[in-house]
Structure 1
């Protein structure tokens, strides 16, 4: 992206066009000449480089040459060269000059020579060090070369980005699923609303009251992902003031313009943001460490969802490991009151459930008097997504689904055979979850434990076998020999409690809980 003052556009009727450079002999020659200047000035001062470049600007379009220079400057590494730290060099010379009267060049040279000798450097090295930290004195250490063709395409790309920065909004139409583009929209936290087909409406920075510069930069960074998509049309609204009257122009570009553009900018690499990837990563890591993750699988970056109501790009999908149950989770980036209400209305009409988390710090307006007033599962946060609220939401969905299963099993008799029946086997046989089956087993001849159903007759036999047993480990062995793996549950059911003496399990005893 270029500084706004270097943007060059043309307007015609209601259209606005970035003044792209053609890949013709005239501009290729200009680009090559500028590249050669930078290449040949390695090891020379920046002030010398700028003096020559200003000469080249004479008779040419100032903004155009300055824009090309800006891109080339970004490929330069400048450094300060000095034998002595500049601040120390100046301090030493000024202190020495206060001791004598310096009115001529000869007297100045004498002071420089004396100070240099005391610092054990040459007079030339001291002269070079005095102002080496000024921008005009820094030296071009390295220049990353490119071809004239690449420079022109990068310039055109930067012009388009700079114009997008000023957009009040844009509509993207994409042929094909373009997952990289849709994920980039989410990565940058842009405000988007799905429309019919493969169209997405994205809010622009110029419509915001707060965070407009930060948001505009994020929108401009989306362009590389757009360009890389197979087939696309971009229609952005740009407000231009002519005198006191604002007028809306349309900036329209499509995949046929790709040959004029180039971008080696990463779409989602090395792009540090404080509002998307970091928050998602922290939430993901916290969630997978919880017991809830045993029941719910969390899927990062699930597939983009294409529905009759448009394209949706959730951040996560939760899939229950037993139930046929899925739900989505979206973490909203930037937002305004109007945008959020429209988005929530869209989400509410989807054929699937979606939980939405909203960061108050990314509100692009004064959020204090704002009331959400919608019947939609929302989580509000300021620093990190509260994982506990997400767990409560998932638990509610899980319990609702289990309640429906229990209701469907109410009039069914679950036949039990054998002394020990794993709940997992019963659940598989019934096509239900273990919890639903656990709640529906009502046979008076059996006891339902957490993972097992056991015939009472077997438990009574075990109770008799344990009457003369005191050691916990001996009791545990008797229960396990009967084929049960839940010794502690069985002991508690039979009325026993475990009495510990220190941490040695061999010293533990059992006794009746009085």
Structure 2
């Protein structure tokens, strides 16, 4: 699905339909160019990618922006920094006692702040604003063919138009079980008359909600997987003369898309945003489990998992009062740890929910609030593990010790283990998630003498079983000079 500003439609004689992309030479070439831009920007910043895409948008803004929106969902975009950017800015702010009036004073503050963290000043400079959108780095991109991208674009257009549907009539042949299961899952009301399925929208146009239209849109992929199908939807449009209902029809004879390229969509932009966030080592899983809520089953939107700890997350957006009342009743019977993100425009308050972890949001995810709650769980786990560990002796033996393996052996988190092994820092250095003996580090340092090629240095690290290649290079005082994206051309410099 796309945002409504990217929807291109045409209307005629009381009907409306999207302006689908044709699979002609020109459209395929445009799609191929956009895909190539994403493929060529892996390892580069998101800002660099957007700058180049903006040049293409002069050809056809909404079409290219729509393709871009779909391809962004196939990317892994992350912060590239040696330290949490928020912590970096906080440290610099605390170190700054007043207004900075010159570059020399600013540089002195950066050096002092870097020493407290401790990281190199250059790393601190890079980290300060690395979480800004334009500075995020594209880690991975799952490419697809230009033709499949165009088909996915056309499907998204049809789904986006259904956002504003007030009702739908459809016929299907085959695939009944899947469609009706989807109807139940989406909470859509329906009736069947003479082989037709009628889906009811909101009670009146004045109570039209995007959430209901989103459910219609999410049903479309289930419909088009049927052997034969047709639909007719009533679409609400705002005109200068007021609200108007237009008819949108579609059936299996249209070959503008196919069901194989459909990807699971999100109920809202807020859910999509949540799925892409980095929560400091907490992995995000969507619809992870079925929880007991009294006599009901409750499927939370997400779970956040880390080192054996799991916290569920439910995002409560705009909906009808009846639905909200039932949602609150269900959630209040869930016994597991759960964070509730509640649209502040809803007619409810934190006291309506039994859980203590309720955050209200306005369009954007309350990221800092979630991190604070997760820290509470991290501290609790750390305290419990240290108490459980008691006087147990941790055996430290070997030249290179993998803390991940040791954590599994003692059933501890990495953070707990790092606190326990801190006493061995005189004999070992903590590099990434490994302890490396001082003797081994000395041998590696000697073998690196005269080495310039990055890949030759990697061979030395691999020989001694050291995994954190970047971390050990920085620890030993080296930096990497890249010549293009080919690692074989990279050099190390002291």
TM-score, normalising length: structure 1: 0.51
Equivalent residues in 2 for 1:450-461 (5 A)?
none
Deviations 1:2-37 (A, max 9, x none): 111211101111211111101111111111111111
1:271–1:113 Cα change, 3 Å: closer
| From 227, 233, 237, the counterpart of 2:234 | 237
What is the Cα deviation at residue 180 of structure 1?
1.9
- Contact 1:166/1:239 (8 A) holds in 2: yes
Whether the 8 Å contact between 1:18 and 1:159 is mirrored in structure 2 is yes
Contact 1:361 1:382 in 2 (8 A): no
- Superposed, which structure 2 residues align to 1:115-514 within 5 Å? 115-176=113-174, 178-196=176-194, 198-204=195-201, 207=204, 212-262=209-259, 263-265=261-263, 272=287, 282=295, 361-362=322-323, 383=329
Post-superposition Cα deviations, 1:379-401, rounded to whole Å, max 9, x if no partner, equal x99847xxxxxxxxxxxxxxxxx
- CA 1:206–1:221: 2 relative to 1, 3 Å: farther
Alpha-carbon contact 1:22-1:260 (below 8 Å) kept: no
Q: 2:181 & 2:228 partners in 1: Cα distance?
A: 16
Contact 1:222 1:267 in 2 (8 A): no
Structure 2 Cα separation of the partners of residues 116 and 383 of structure 1: 50
CA contact (8 A) 1:76 1:143 kept: yes
CA deviation vs aligned residue, 1:211-266 (integer Å, no higher than 9, x gap): 82322222211001111001011111112232033332111100012452444335
Residue aligning to 1:29: 29
RMSD: 3.6
State the distance in 1 between where 2:35 and 2:171 align: 37
| Cα 1:56/1:98, change in 2 over 3 Å | same
Q: Give the superposition deviation at 1:87.
A: 2.5
How far is 1:159 from its partner?
0.7
- Structure 2 gap segments, 5+ residues each: 267-284, 299-318, 331-494
State the distance in 2 between where 1:194 and 1:273 align. Answer: 33
CA–CA separation in structure 1 for the residues paired with 2:225 and 2:112: 63
**What CA distance in whole angstroms lies between the structure 2 residues aligned with 1:273 and 1:172?**
31
Say which SS state the counterpart of residue 169 (structure 1) adopts.
Answer: strand
The 1:362–1:126 alpha-carbon spacing in structure 2 relative to 1, beyond 3 Å, is closer
Return the alpha-carbon distance in structure 2 between the equivalents of residues 129 and 154 of structure 1: 36
TM-superposed CA distance for 1:111, in Å, is 3.2
2:78 equivalent to 1:79: yes
Distance 1:273 1:245 in 2: 43
Structure 1 residues 239 and 119: CA distance shift in structure 2, 3 A: closer
Q: Is the 8 A contact 2:232 2:249 kept in 1?
A: yes
- Structure 2 equivalent of residue 467 of structure 1: none
| Structure-2 residue corresponding to 1:313 | none
| 1:185 shift after superposition | 1.7
CA distance in 2, matches of 1:206, 1:144: 42
Is the aligned partner of 1:9 residue 2:9? Answer: yes
Distance 1:271 1:191, change over 3 A: farther
Confirm or deny: 8 A CA contact 1:167 1:205 kept in the other structure: no
Query: Radius of gyration: which is bigger?
Result: 1
CA gap 1:234/1:47 in 2 versus in 1, 3 angstroms: same
Q: Distance in 2 between matches of 1:241 and 1:153?
A: 28
Residue equivalent to 2:68: 69
Cα distance in 2 for residues equivalent to 1:176 and 1:86: 53
Q: Distance in 1 between matches of 2:117 and 2:228?
A: 66
Range that drifts further, 219-228 or 119-128: 119-128
User: Is 1:184–1:267's contact at 8 Å kept on the other side of the alignment?
Assistant: no
